[in-house]
């Protein structure tokens, strides 16, 4: 279990879900149980019991008032993909419109001097504060996740080799997100290094023992995902960071599926470097730029490989040669994607307002409910839960596996139930604590049940 995960240790009882035993999922006095069809699962729980339970959980949910703040939440569409592309907040629609009219349209190029040049740092600090436990001056909004990961892994690799030429290995797990695997292979090829692969269970993730066996005196950098994109496995980041440091290596954390969903304590973990998406739980919109975290103690030691004018000490000096800026500016390369970084500010403000502990508590309650419903309605049809069953080692999504899931996904999309599909046979159920309700979760899983029956 991550030590910095208050909700996983204290459980949802402290968050408003206490009126109901979320772990066992029983709702003995639930209303309207007699109105729904009485199909029963292996534990003898009927679908109407589940409906009543969802109603109780929604009523007890302290975050339910925020659901209406999202565009589309009022419709019957079931959205299980906020871990891929979050819904927009209504406030963001207003912010984007006002920006186009007033700032872009009104201030024109003066906007750069007036505020835009500072925006990557200000929003970066707010990601640090709200979502990743980083003190100011260590987080910046930059390029895409892939490009930022490339820049930081390469910078870390080069620094490690410069300090000790025998450190030429990059450690990464076989089930890390494709971009992470591909880019370390590219860096190893271009810098004369090697990739050392950690084998993992597809329904789990990187354990302490597996990492300990993979690192050693030849390790330069370790690249790990905090929440595994396929299984949802939540790594014990503090312990894994310590194991890498004990071996003398630097660690880069991929926080794509964590930021805004599970507590992250970059400073407390003694994290070196991290990168994360903003279009998932931070609702930044399609293709919104990623954030990069570099611990203060490392910033001056690292040189990133894409030397552009926005990373220089005096951007408008237009000098003859590249001189990296002090601090986080040196990790930028070109013109910051300002329009893309506007919307995430509304979600960051909301996260600061409600607190990540409350978000995690709702996330745990949602995934616990989804697993229970899957056990009741889908296990009899041959569906397996391909995610950790212990909520302390599970992030914000649950993967359900069955050979028909690709066809099931297509069928569901056609009826406005939107999960996503990952090979082999995995249906990912992404549950966004600020915008997903328990009733929506049940409706979606009942649609999965019907689709599997139709495909069988």
Interface positions with ligand PLP (CB under 6 A): 144-146, 177, 179-180, 225, 229, 254, 256-257, 277, 290
Of 254, 272, 346, 375, the active-site residue reads 254
330 annotated active-site: no
177 annotated active-site: yes
Q: 182 vs 316, which CB is nearer to ligand PLP? A: 182
From the CB of 114, what's the least distance to ligand PLP, in Å?
29
80 annotated active-site: no
Of 67, 87, 151, 280, the active-site residue reads 280
Quote the tokens at residue 70: 């999202």
From the CB of 174, what's the least distance to ligand PLP, in Å?
14
Strands 194-198 vs 250-254: parallel, antiparallel or unpaired: unpaired
- 54, 442 contact by CB (below 8 A): yes
Q: What is the C-alpha separation between 62 and 15, in angstroms, rounded? A: 7
Quote the tokens at residue 16: 């408003």
From the CB of 277, what's the least distance to ligand PLP, in Å?
5
Q: What is the C-alpha separation between 374 and 393, in angstroms, rounded? A: 18
* CA-to-CA dists, residue 196 to 231, 331, 393, 408, angstroms: 21, 26, 24, 36
From the CB of 51, what's the least distance to ligand PLP, in Å?
33
Q: 89 vs 223, which CB is nearer to ligand PLP? A: 223
From the CB of 367, what's the least distance to ligand PLP, in Å?
18
Of 154, 196, 360, 428, the active-site residue reads 428
From the CB of 205, what's the least distance to ligand PLP, in Å?
12
Residues in the chain: 456
Q: 116 vs 229, which CB is nearer to ligand PLP? A: 229
Q: 145 vs 387, which CB is nearer to ligand PLP? A: 145
According to DSSP, residue 125 is labeled: H
Of 17, 121, 157, 177, the active-site residue reads 177
From the CB of 85, what's the least distance to ligand PLP, in Å?
9
Q: Which residues pair with 397 in a beta bridge?
A: 430
Task: Give the number of other CB atoms < 10 A from CB of residue 407.
Answer: 14
From the CB of 264, what's the least distance to ligand PLP, in Å?
14
Q: What is the C-alpha separation between 27 and 188, in angstroms, rounded? A: 54
- 269, 76 contact by CB (below 8 A): no
- 95, 345 contact by CB (below 8 A): yes
Q: What is the C-alpha separation between 289 and 312, in angstroms, rounded? A: 20
362 annotated active-site: no
Q: What is the C-alpha separation between 63 and 66, in angstroms, rounded? A: 6
Q: 136 vs 179, which CB is nearer to ligand PLP? A: 179
Q: 223 vs 377, which CB is nearer to ligand PLP? A: 223
314 annotated active-site: no
Torsion of CA 69, 74, 75, 79, to 10 degrees: 40
Q: 180 vs 346, which CB is nearer to ligand PLP? A: 180
In our burial notation (b when 16+ CB lie closer than 10 A, e otherwise), range 170-194 reads bbbbebbbebbbebbeebbeeeebe
Q: 30 vs 342, which CB is nearer to ligand PLP? A: 342
Strands 426-430 vs 420-422: parallel, antiparallel or unpaired: antiparallel
Of 150, 233, 279, 291, the active-site residue reads 279
Task: Give the number of other CB atoms < 10 A from CB of residue 94.
Answer: 11
* Dihedral pair phi/psi, residue 396, rounded to 5°: -95, 5
Residues annotated as catalytic (active site), given as ranges: 177, 254, 279-280, 428
């Amino acid at each position: 279990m991550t030590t910095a995960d208050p909700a996983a240790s204290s459980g949802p009882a402290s968050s408003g879900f206490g009126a109901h035993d979320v772990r066992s999922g029983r709702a003995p006095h639930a209303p309207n149980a007699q109105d729904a069809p009485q199909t029963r699962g292996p534990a003898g729980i009927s679908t109407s019991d589940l409906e009543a339970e969802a109603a109780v959980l929604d009523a007890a949910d302290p975050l339910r008032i925020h659901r209406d703040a999202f565009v589309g939440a009022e419709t019957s569409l079931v959205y299980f993909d906020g871990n891929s592309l979050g819904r927009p907040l209504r406030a963001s629609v207003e912010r984007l419109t006002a920006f186009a009219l007033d700032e872009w349209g009104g201030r024109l190029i003066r906007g750069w001097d007036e505020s835009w040049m500072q925006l990557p740092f200000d929003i970066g600090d707010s990601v640090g504060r709200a979502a990743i436990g980083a003190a100011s001056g260590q987080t910046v909004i930059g390029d895409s996740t892939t490009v930022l990961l490339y820049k930081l892994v390469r910078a870390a690799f080069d620094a490690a080799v410069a300090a000790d030429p025998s450190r030429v290995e990059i450690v990464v797990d076989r089930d890390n997100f494709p971009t992470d695997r591909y880019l370390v292979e590219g860096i190893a090829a271009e810098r004369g290094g090697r990739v050392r692969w950690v084998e993992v269970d597809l329904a789990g993730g990187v354990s302490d023992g597996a990492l300990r066996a993979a690192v050693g005196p030849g390790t330069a950098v370790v690249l790990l995902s905090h929440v595994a994109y396929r299984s949802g496995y939540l790594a014990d980041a503090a312990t894994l960071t310590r194991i890498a440091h004990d071996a003398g290596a630097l660690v880069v954390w991929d926080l794509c599926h964590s930021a805004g969903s599970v507590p992250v304590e970059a400073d407390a973990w003694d994290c070196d470097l991290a990168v994360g998406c903003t279009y998932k739980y931070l609702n930044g919109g399609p293709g919104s730029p990623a954030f990069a975290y570099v611990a203060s103690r490392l910033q001056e030691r690292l040189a990133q490989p894409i030397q552009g004018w926005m990373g220089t000490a005096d951007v408008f000096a237009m000098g003859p040669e590249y001189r990296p800026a002090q601090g986080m500016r040196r990790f930028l390369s070109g013109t910051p994607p300002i329009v893309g970084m506007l919307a995430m500010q509304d979600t960051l403000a909301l996260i600061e307002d409600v607190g990540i502990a409350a978000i995690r508590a709702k996330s745990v309650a949602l995934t616990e409910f989804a697993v229970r419903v899957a056990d009741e309605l889908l296990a009899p049809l041959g569906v397996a839960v391909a995610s950790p069953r212990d909520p302390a080692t599970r992030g914000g999504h649950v993967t359900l596996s069955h050979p028909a899931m690709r066809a099931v996904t297509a069928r569901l999309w056609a009826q406005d139930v939107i999960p996503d599909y990952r090979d082999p046979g995995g249906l990912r159920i992404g549950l966004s604590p600020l915008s997903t309700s328990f009733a929506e979760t049940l409706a979606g899983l009942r649609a999965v049940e019907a689709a599997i029956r139709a495909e069988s």
